[in-house]
Amino acid sequence: MGNVIDIIFGQGSLRTTWYLAFVSAIIQIFARMGITSLVKSYVSKIPGVSPSHPSKAADCFYYAFFYSISVGFNLFAQFKKGINPFYWMIHPDMHKNIITEEYSLFVVFIYLFIGHYMACTYFIFTKADAHLKRSDTQMMILHHFFTFIIFYTCTRWPCFLFGVTNGQVLFDTSDVFMETCKFFRYTKHITLCNIFFLIMAPMFFIGRCVIFPITSIRATFLYYNIKGTPYFFLGLLEVGFFIMNLIWMKMILGMISKVFWMAVYDK
């Protein structure tokens, strides 16, 4: 029975503070409602905006806002711990930086993210996420589930936290530009949309499809294979993320190809 409790509620502060994940989710649900309401009101006043675009623009604005904060907080927590995440990205075998005990700022970061994806899942199931197409729903639910499990695992086994938090920097930095790009598209700022897209596309490919597998995934299997930890399971989840990245990268390349051929035909 004790082992079951350990698996569910974890160890250390997780055992006594697990409810904060739900507190975080509830706060973020109401925060998103408030922020998106203000943005929808603003976008709806822009001439020529389609009726469905204010809600979509509001969702994109919220995601860009959240990911900007999360990346900034993540980097702050790492530098405050004396870790240089950018150096780690090219030196994933830095055993001396494996975290073996809880670090309060990382625990806060974990609850911030678990709450975020719980809130996102709530909006998906309540069909309140105008930003999400129906065809993407299943993949996003799978993505949120994988993310929840990974961050929860990192809270139980801090040795994985360093690699995963760096993976979050790689992922969400490109997401900031992606969501901002879509926001400007929905608000008819096409030039700004194109600029952010040109920044986002190579950043997505380099960060998610190149650096992530050769650092985070490789480090999980080769350097963080600590006995008594579910490193293999965590590595498989990261591989799952990598496959999703390839699928999304294919979609981005499809958009680039479409724009290119439209420009050719216009000439």
Report long-range pairs for 250-255 (Cβ below 8 Å, ≥24 apart). Answer: 252/201, 252/204, 252/205, 255/197
Q: Taking the alpha carbons of 257, 130, 60, 236 in that order, is the dihedral positive or negative?
A: negative
* pLDDT(83) > 50: yes
The band of 75, judged by pLDDT with boundaries at 50, 70 and 90, is confident
The band of 2, judged by pLDDT with boundaries at 50, 70 and 90, is very low
The band of 215, judged by pLDDT with boundaries at 50, 70 and 90, is confident
Mean pLDDT along residues 133-153: 77
The band of 48, judged by pLDDT with boundaries at 50, 70 and 90, is confident
Residue 52's pLDDT is: 84
Residue 195's pLDDT is: 92
Q: Using N-to-C axis directions, what is the helix angle for 231-266 and 161-186, rounded to 10°?
A: 30
Between 47 and 263, where is the model more confident? 47
Residue 49's pLDDT is: 86
Most confident of 24-38, 80-94, 127-141, 242-256: 24-38
Between 161 and 58, where is the model more confident? 58
* pLDDT(66) > 90: yes
Between 220 and 118, where is the model more confident? 118
The band of 158, judged by pLDDT with boundaries at 50, 70 and 90, is low
Between 105 and 134, where is the model more confident? 105
Residue 4's pLDDT is: 47
Cα distances (angstroms) measured from residue 103 to each of 21, 81, 109, 130, 235? 17, 8, 10, 36, 22
Q: Average per-residue pLDDT in the chain?
A: 80
- The percent of residues above 70 in pLDDT, for the chain, comes to 74
Q: Dihedral angle at the C-alpha atoms of 143, 144, 148, 151, nearest 10 degrees?
A: 60
The CA distance from 232 to 139, in Å, is 22
The band of 216, judged by pLDDT with boundaries at 50, 70 and 90, is confident
Q: Which of 1-5, 136-140, 212-216, 253-257 has the lowest mean pLDDT?
A: 1-5
Q: Which of 120-124, 150-154, 251-255 has the lowest mean pLDDT?
A: 150-154
